[in-house]
Structure 1
Amino acid sequence: MIFGRNRNVKTETVVLPEELQDARDRDGVEPVPEATGPFDITERPEADGYLDLGSLRIPMVQDLKIRLDLEDSTKRIIGVTLQLGQSSIQAQAFAAPRSGGLWDEIRAEILDSVAATEGAQVGEQEGRFGTEVAARIPAAMPDGSPGWRVARFVGVDGPRWFLRGVVGGEAAFKDEAASAINDLFSRIVVRRGDDPHPPRELLPLTPPENMRPVPQPGQANQPGQANQPGQPGQPGRATPAPERGPEITEVR
């Protein structure tokens, strides 16, 4: 399954060294919106203004925070979570068949998985990237009161790749907050590469040099040690709580 629980995942927040930052970030200048993507590397081969993570190039914009999502058992990076203000999106790129259409299959799986949860609400809606999934799952809020875990799932079929985004925080349920996250997702560049990969296999992600871990408040991590997602609370939940942003999903 591409959607589900995975308790063998940790997360690592990183801060870019100055030489990897976009000059626009240091100068506090907002980037000019680009044409709608996400893009294949053949459409956007230039690397300036992007953070290179191997199969993904992430556009560097002002106030962007980056979190690498690590699989505990293998220590490989299985996704990258991007946060802007009170909104976030986890991006993952997968190999796909030449015929495309992987998002239709995965969307159906997400609908079935969420619908199987008691009290959950899930459905399809039209968004900037086509048909997406909106989900709400009952959950206790930090103060113990009843609440919801809210997420939007978006997907884009590219040439032999598929890019999925899990939107959390305000951008999952506020139209006015979704614009910046949608713009960020639309500027991501996917590098499929020529290596053979079966459909649905996660495309490899690699960290750039000089990235360093940042401990979460109240945690004293050793170098290289990553944080459990969603602390405090249960790790590995498939849909994000509004106050935390996306958590980790199972890739296969």
Structure 2
Amino acid sequence: MYNEIVKRSELGPLDLAEVASLENVIDFGALKLPNLNRNLAIKVELEEDTRRLVALTLQTQGSMLQISLFSAPKNSPVWHEVLEVLVSSLESQGANVEPVIGSFGRELMVSMQVPSEDGNNVQQQIRFIGVDGPRWLLRGSITGEALSNLSEQAEVERIFRSIIVDRGAEALPPRELVPLTMPPGNIAPPARPQ
């Protein structure tokens, strides 16, 4: 476990305690996104029943990265447990799930039927990644060109690694979603000069 923590703290995503400055970030409370890419669209995801902000979807030119933050015990990683639950859930929905070793260690490559905008089902490929930090787990799901285009994959991984986690001191049960908050003001990046 120690080597995983050292690697994460060197490559990211980072814990707030590991960051010297929070300049030029978009602050969603527990998650802070450095403003790296002017072409990055951010969509907030709300829980249906509570309307809590619990996930962000970051869209590049051809890919989407959905990120969620989960609570974890201080010295006990939970990604392996979350993977097992995720595999069971996805397989019960008829998905083809393949555990792989990728850039972030243990990952899942998933192929499943999802409804399209026209009402028909289409096959969608999804890559699930996760990184354990101190008292948190950051999970990402990646779709689109980043699954087949190496430069797009590198860009999405760079965005994921650049995220700063501010888990806070609130006691939460392990594997519970950590709520996020909307940043103050306008979160759109400034327009490019013509």
User: TM-score normalized by structure 2?
Assistant: 0.83
Q: Percent identity?
A: 35
Aligned to 1:132: 107
Which is further off, 140-149 or 95-104?
140-149
The SS at the match of 1:98 is: coil
Cα distance between partner residues in 2 of 1:88 and 1:176: 14
1:113 counterpart = 2:123: no
- TM-superposed CA distance for 1:174, in Å, is 3.5
The SS at the match of 1:179 is: helix
Cα distance between partner residues in 2 of 1:52 and 1:42: 16
Aligned to 1:77: 53
> Does the 8 A contact of 2:82 with 2:175 survive in 1?
no
Cα distance between partner residues in 1 of 2:84 and 2:160: 22
Aligned to 1:3: none
> Does the 8 A contact of 2:57 with 2:64 survive in 1?
yes
1:91 to 40, 56, 67: 67
Aligned to 2:144: 169
Q: What amino acid does structure 2 have at the position aligned with 1:46?
A: S
The SS at the match of 2:11 is: coil
- TM-superposed CA distance for 1:150, in Å, is 1.3
> Does the 8 A contact of 2:26 with 2:187 survive in 1?
no
> Does the 8 A contact of 1:65 with 1:83 survive in 2?
yes
- TM-superposed CA distance for 1:173, in Å, is 4.0
Cα distance between partner residues in 2 of 1:161 and 1:58: 16
Cα distance between partner residues in 1 of 2:148 and 2:134: 30
- TM-superposed CA distance for 1:124, in Å, is 1.1
Q: How many residues align?
A: 178
Aligned to 2:79: 103
Q: Which runs of 5+ in 1 are unaligned?
A: 1-34, 214-252
The SS at the match of 1:196 is: coil
Cα distance between partner residues in 2 of 1:66 and 1:148: 24
Aligned to 1:207: 182
User: TM-score normalized by structure 1?
Assistant: 0.65
Aligned to 1:188: 163
1:53 counterpart = 2:59: no
Q: Which runs of 5+ in 2 are unaligned?
A: 1-9, 189-194
Cα distance between partner residues in 1 of 2:133 and 2:29: 17
The SS at the match of 1:42 is: helix
More helix by share: 2
- TM-superposed CA distance for 1:116, in Å, is 2.3
Cα shift readout 1:120-172 (whole Å, capped 9, x = no counterpart): 32111121111111100134655777741111110001011111011111113
1:160 counterpart = 2:135: yes
Cα distance between partner residues in 2 of 1:53 and 1:178: 24
The SS at the match of 2:18 is: coil
Cα distance between partner residues in 2 of 1:98 and 1:46: 24
1:150 counterpart = 2:136: no
> Does the 8 A contact of 2:77 with 2:133 survive in 1?
no
Q: What amino acid does structure 1 have at the position aligned with 2:178?
A: L
Cα distance between partner residues in 2 of 1:140 and 1:56: 30
More strand by share: 2
Q: What amino acid does structure 2 have at the position aligned with 1:160?
A: R
The SS at the match of 1:207 is: coil
TM-aligned CA distance change 1:212 to 1:158, over 3 Å: closer
- TM-superposed CA distance for 1:75, in Å, is 2.2
